[in-house]
Amino acid sequence: MKRVFVNEKWCLGCRLCEYNCAYANSGVKDMIKALKGKNIYPRVRIEGEDGITYAVSCRHCTDPICVKSCISAAISIKDGAVTIDHDKCVGCFTCVLVCPYGAIGRGETGAVQKCELCLENISGYPACVQGCPNRAIVYEER
Amino acid sequence: MKKYVIVGNGTAAVGAVEGIRSADKESEIVIVSEERHHVYCRPLISYYLEGKTDARRMKYRPDDFYDRNGCRVLYGVKAVKLDAENKSVLLDDGSQLKYDKLCAATGSSAFVPRFDGLDTVEEKHTFMTMDDMLGLEKAVRPDSRVLIVGAGLIGLKCAEGLAHRVAEITVCDLADRVLSSVLDGECAEVMQRHLEKNGIRFMLSDTAQSFEGKTALMKSGKTVGFDILVLAVGVRPNVSLVADAGGKCGKGITVDARSQTSLTDVYAAGDCAECMDISCGGVKVLAILPNAYMQGRCAGINMAGGEEEFDMAIPMNSVGFFGLHAMTAGSMFDESNGGEVYRERTGNGIKKLFSRDGRLTGFILIGDVDRAGIYTNMIRKRIPLSEVDYEDLKKIPNLFAFGKKYRDKILGGVV
């Protein structure tokens, strides 16, 4: 299965991935309307210190502890991708409590959200990868 | 072909089914379900009262789960006697079930202490099961006054669930603070103030002693009038099936890391069973859903002849009340227990990290809970603080503090 991987040494810290992620998941067609003047809630986050930066998003673990821990059975694995069923989620944040990588966060409404590889949104292909100017994020089989 | 019997139909039972099926796709699985419900997410009963979920969405597995996994579910029957020597279990309808491997996933029950006059209370409820909750829901009216005995997770989640549906809620507890099993005094105060702001009234260091109709006589001598009484004093693991058969029990059913009891071919998992809490090295009953699933799955794999150990259990809870989230994990060793505490007030909340012997052993976070899993993982994996930049991590959970090698592994490889 293809996953999103990070090449730390190529990351410029430009945060384009964050913007492209927020746009792809906004449901709004026009990028300006989706992002301009708004707080964005991307599912990939740039972090780092001392000039070193890298993108963090859901690892789509092979044996994900968030799936086993979810008290509302809202997280499941579909063809290898870890996905959240927002209809079932009650917002208890147990997934936030157990994700070893801090890759599950809160969205605009306060509900949990995470990278779902853009498989269900208008992008159809990880938007963070597509827009990365330096191939610091790639989508491939490893 | 083997025959598997699982006693219980909750989270641990599902874990056992999925564990068995990961290794044995053929043999029959019989599930003995005292409750007449398809498996549901038990911790969600308060969210149902609150209107955040419903019976359909609360299902822990889809409707076809049992069919797809070749399970026969016996609803509305109780396992009353286990004969481990002859490998059979007697049900309360008089029938006998033979098994090759049995898993006790019997859960826990609400503990109701003896109160004088409890029989004079018309509307008294416990809050553990779907039926408990539906019974309580039937009783509530917009003008109801509710008295909840017990300010633990169950009592307070019940209070939150009822808050917008009744006139008045009073919560009493013999402990001097709310959530006394998971929060220390300072953190409990933060949460209590928030709950009070949302209309919940507390009577702490005080509890109901006796009842007379719609009046509770408190230990302090005060009286409290109520229409509905909820008893959320505590829970007890359901050990009797295994204990009466001669299986070793402590507070819960004693199991090894493979989830096997002291009885041959009898396993146990979930709220009825003990496990090793690796954050303190002690044996405990950790009655939380994630552990029930993982221990159940471990039991199932071993029942089917595989090899699995459940060796990463820690207590942990993530719970929100009226929009304020609290997360706790591990063991809270403070200075009096040879530990070190990092403490920080954060906005409307608080953060405490507990460490001992060079390892993070526990934490309490109220308010800012973002990325708490990075801390939880440090406890679970017993990561030495000497291998990370703990000073940096104290301020904010991040991956930078773990170094490049760790990052390359988790962000550049399949985990």
Q: What is the pLDDT of residues A40-90, one digit of tens each?
A: 999 999 999 889 999 999 999 999 999 999 999 999 999 999 999 999 999
d(CA A60, CA A106): 18
Number of structural domains found in chain A: 2
How confident is the model at residue A50, as a pLDDT? Answer: 86
CATH number where A142 lies: 3.30.70
Domain with CATH 3.50.50.60 in chain B: 3-108+236-303, 118-233
Considering the four listed CATH numbers 3.40.50.300, 3.50.50.60, 3.20.20.150, 1.10.1200.10, the one that applies to the domain covering B118-233 is 3.50.50.60
Provide DSSP, B28-52: EEEEEESSSS--B-GGGHHHHHHTS
Residues A122 and A91 in one domain: no
Q: Is B373–A97 a contact, with Cβ atoms under 8 angstroms apart?
A: yes
Mean pLDDT, chain B, rounded, equals 97
Residues A68 and A103 in one domain: yes
Residues A102 and A126 in one domain: no
pLDDT at A109 over 90: no
The domain made up of B3-108+236-303 is a member of CATH 3.50.50.60: yes
Residues A29 and A77 in one domain: no
Q: Is B44–A71 a contact, with Cβ atoms under 8 angstroms apart?
A: yes
By C-alpha distance, the chain B residue nearest A68 is: B290
Residue A96 near residue B77, CB atoms below 8 Å: no
- What is the domain range of residue A26? 1-57+117-142
pLDDT at B62 over 90: yes
CATH number where A74 lies: 3.30.70.20
Residues A53 and A1 in one domain: yes
d(CA B375, CA B357): 16
Residues A102 and A142 in one domain: no
* B103-107, B346-350, B353-357: range with lowest mean pLDDT: B346-350
Q: Is B41 exposed, middle or buried (0-12, 13-18, 19+ CB in 10 A)?
A: buried
Using CB atoms, pick whichever of B41, B323, B374 lies closest to residue A100: B374
Using CB atoms, pick whichever of B53, B376, B381 lies closest to residue A97: B376
Q: What is the mean pLDDT of residues B259-278?
A: 98
Residues A121 and A110 in one domain: no
Q: What is the mean pLDDT of residues B410-415?
A: 96
Nearest one of B257, B269, B317, B277 to B297, comparing CA atoms: B269
Please give the ipTM for the structure prediction.
0.97
Residues A45 and A5 in one domain: yes
Which of B156, B312, B318 best tests the A interface by mutation, with the highest count of A CBs <10 A? B318
Q: Is A100–B316 a contact, with Cβ atoms under 8 angstroms apart?
A: no
Using CB atoms, pick whichever of B293, B318, B374 lies closest to residue A93: B318
Q: What is the mean pLDDT of residues B175-200?
A: 97
Domain with CATH 3.30.390.30 in chain B: 323-412
B11-21 and B289-303 helices, crossing angle to 10°: 30
By C-alpha distance, the chain B residue nearest A67 is: B290
Task: Give the C-alpha distances (Å, rounded to integers) separating B131 from A81, B38, B127.
Answer: 35, 12, 9
Residues A122 and A107 in one domain: no
State the CATH architecture for B323-412. 2-Layer Sandwich (3.30)
